[in-house]
Amino acid sequence: MATPTRRGLGWWWRSGGVAAMFVLAMTPRVGVAADGSFPEPEELAPAVRFWAATFTQYGQRDVVIHDREQLGLVYDVVRDVSSSDDSRVQAGIAAAIERIERSVARGPLALFQARAPALEPLARIRTIRGQRESFEQGLTAERLFRPAVRRALAAESLPLDLAALPLIESAYHPGMVSGAGAVGLWQLTADVADRWLKIDGKVDERGDPGRASVAAAAYLRDLHARFGSWPLALTAYNHGPTGVERARAAVGSDDLGKIVSAYDGPGFGFASRSFYASFLAARHVLKHSADYFPSIKASRVVTYKVKRGDTLEAVAKRHGVTIPSLRVANGIRAASIRPGQMLLVRL
């Protein structure tokens, strides 16, 4: 629920703004629920497609260069990038800036003027790594935690589609800790979780998938009761309820599409504005995971709690997997692991 710092359909070429419009028009629309619980505002449709592509088509070695203000506007995708200072990425950013400057000189393009961005060209450019590998791992882990998550949602009479939320929060990793201090499958912050969970110097129940799911379901119930719709409730889960109340009051509407288009308040940046869109994309991919990730059918995941003296090599050998697979499954970059650390092992 903390604002992401890491995140996060074949529709971009290098031939400028006209091509960008063409690919947005040609990208298949991601479907929405027939029951209307999770509507897809027209203003967010490009962002939903953006996240669906990020989750399914582009991997961790692909860098997507996109617009921070116009959700879903992608300028380039640079493949097989090992370092962020890759000259091809820098060249792509420079080309994107040039396109923005040319567009401003010609006058605003109506298709991309929902919010009339005031940022300088460089500030409008944002890059993100593809997430195909981590999303696939999250879908695999979802099977392991599905009973606990769905049981908690059902107990609060919440839509089971909310099981897609941990995919974008933690890739279904119970040991995930964000830079903002959010923990667990649901990335609960301490100020929210301590209403339902024990958090002290010795115990942090946010890392327990079952207990954390119960707390997250209760919090989601409260948010929906407060805002009356899932688009606003889920945005509040990420941005905070006070911030969403402020945005709703400023725009004078409960329509998230209008809020995203018109509101430019403090802290309401790319992550918050596109959070609901990323949820819709994750929900779509979860429903159609066999189509996007057919290899998952033969996979299963177990958890392993690191013991004193364990090394990555020893854990990998014990489970018959490779060290790189452990690193990918758990986002491990350091050379060592720590006692008590929870690892996901994909067999």
Tell me how far apart the alpha carbons of residues 185 and 183 are, in angstroms, rounded to a whole number: 7
- Burial of 189-207, coded b for 16+ CB within 10 Å and e otherwise, reads beebbeebbebeeeebbbb
Cβ distance 4 to 190 under 8 Å?
no
Beta strands, E only, 234-319: 301-305
pLDDT in tens, 7-43: 333 322 223 333 343 334 334 445 544 358 999 999 9
Structure token pair of residue 8 = 């996060």
In 3D space, the residue among 223, 216, 203, 218 whose CA is nearest the CA of residue 166 turns out to be: 216
pLDDT band, very low/low/confident/very high, at 2 (cuts 50, 70, 90): low
Domain boundaries, the chain: 300-346
Contacts 24+ apart (CB under 8 A), 179-183: 179/2, 179/5, 180/2, 180/3, 180/5, 181/2, 182/1, 182/2, 183/207
**Rounded Cα distance, 83 and 88, in Å:** 10
The better pLDDT of the pair 162, 341 is held by: 162
pLDDT at position 69 is 87
pLDDT in tens, 62-72: 999 999 988 88
168-177, 310-319, 338-347: segment of lowest average pLDDT: 338-347
Q: Work out the average pLDDT over 190-194.
A: 96
| pLDDT at res. 230 | 98
What are the CA-CA distances from residue 125 to residues 11, 68, 113, 150 (Å)? 17, 6, 16, 38
Is the pLDDT at 110 greater than 80? The verdict is: no
The pLDDT of residue 35:
53
pTM: 0.82
Helices (H) and strands (E) in the chain, counts: 16, 5
The arithmetic mean of pLDDT across residues 214-221, rounded, is 98
User: Which amino acid type is present at position 7?
Assistant: R
| CA dihedral (108, 114, 119, 122) positive or negative | negative
Q: Are 79 and 69 in contact (CB under 8 A)?
A: no
In the DSSP assignment, the letter for residue 344 is: E
Q: Which of 54, 24, 71, 31 is nearest to 259 (CA)?
A: 71
* DSSP line for 17-45: HHHHHHHHHHSPPPP--TTSSS---GGGH
Of 68-77, 98-107, 219-228, minimum mean pLDDT range:
98-107
Q: What is the pLDDT of residue 20?
A: 41
pLDDT score recorded for residue 173:
92
- The answer to whether the CB of 307 falls within 8 A of the CB of 339 is yes
The CATH homologous superfamily for domain 300-346 is LysM domain (3.10.350.10)
